Amino acid sequence: MTKKIKITGKATKKELFYSVEGNKNFDFETTKNYGKKVLTENLGIQKNEKVLIITDETTSLIGKAFLNAGKSLCKKTELIEMKSLPFNGMEPEEKIAKEMLKYNIIILPVNSSLSHTKARMHASRHGARIASMPRLNYEMIKRDLKADYTKIKKLSLQVKNLLTKADLAEVKTELGTDISIPLKDMKAGGSKAGFYLKAGQWGNIPQGEVYIVPEEGKSNGKFVVDASMGTIGKVETPIEITVKKGFATKIDGGEEALKLKKLIKPLGKNARNLAEFAIGTNDTAKIIGVVLEDEKVLGTAHLALGNSTSMTGGTIYSEIHVDGVFTKPTIWLDGKLFMEKGKILI
């Protein structure tokens, strides 16, 4: 959760960075070492390559540590610090999008996710390997240093195969989630599990989710978000989202539900598209109110509203993509119990 501490007067960049929850005990050297690990192990950096790091005021010092990490590893490392954007999926300035086409590796620790933007998609098509890290903070970095990505990848691949084979997912929770999600002929992704070693590959770090685009216009039911919601953060009062024929038709709850309705209302019908169904596979991650980590937690699932064109099989574009994470789901795939109250039965 990017909770801000009250700052009187004009805040410095440093004050803004430390006002983000999770950055209080920031250590430059630890973060630099994490940057080296990401560049070498997760992104397979080569000496002749060029690296671009994009940050904003919430991640500025993390970006500088990554910049320092990359200097000895490759031909060129550059840092762009932009102003944080108001919601996930919003396009960056055109000059930044154009700059992204010039690099082999791009790292995106920013406040609002660029994963589902045309800018990211174009850079991927140009061959960039991309690590998207929205709302990354120092406490997440320390946890992710302990993650066993070989183990995560093994489980993710198993889950990916099951989701790809399934024609229908049915999801329920004790809080009221009850939704049917047709998946026939759709292909799941996420089995790379944080390793983006070939041209054009991209994903989150920290990683540990398997995702799939539902058949468009066919999902029906309700899902109840009790962990976190993209752009909004930690959910105190569960958000109940009713879905009919693949689009959210009703959003109920407390303050967070009101924020979500206000966020997507001006963006048109496509912002209400049920864009993604996904399952967490990372046993090191924990619920903290930041979707980047929350959606990876083993024992969770999430459904997203908005843009689906950034994922295999998706054809509906929106300027927004927001994930709603919920805990302890029970899931059936083609009528067979796959997960019971958050426990994967493989």
* Res 192: pLDDT: 80
In this prediction, residue 191 carries a pLDDT of: 82
Let me know: does 208 contact 89? Beta carbons within 8 Å: no
pLDDT at 4: 39
CA gap 293, 286 in Å, rounded: 7
Q: What residues does 53 pair with on adjacent strands?
A: 79, 107
User: What tokens were used for 46?
Assistant: 């080569």
Q: Which residues pair with 171 in a beta bridge?
A: 179, 331
Give the pLDDT band of residue 2 (cuts 50, 70, 90).
very low
Domains of the chain: 13-144 (3.40.50), 149-344 (no CATH)
Residue 168, pLDDT > 50, answer yes
| Alpha-carbon distances of 114 from 16, 184, 236, 293, 319, rounded to whole Å | 21, 28, 26, 16, 10
**Mean pLDDT along residues 231-260:** 97
pLDDT at 66: 98
Q: With contact defined as beta carbons under 8 Å apart, do 84 and 13 qualify? A: no
pLDDT of residue 10: 64
List, for residues 281-325, the tens digit of each pLDDT value: 999 999 999 999 999 999 999 999 999 999 999 999 999 999 999
Model pLDDT for residues 37-77, shown as the tens digit of each residue: 999 999 999 999 999 999 999 999 999 999 999 998 999 99
Q: Residue 190 pLDDT more than 90? A: no
Question: What's the pLDDT tens digit per position in 199-217?
Answer: 999 999 999 999 999 999 9
CB distance 229 to 301 below 8 Å: no
- Check: CB of residue 270 under 8 Å from CB of residue 216: no
Identify residue 31 by its one-letter amino acid code. Answer: T
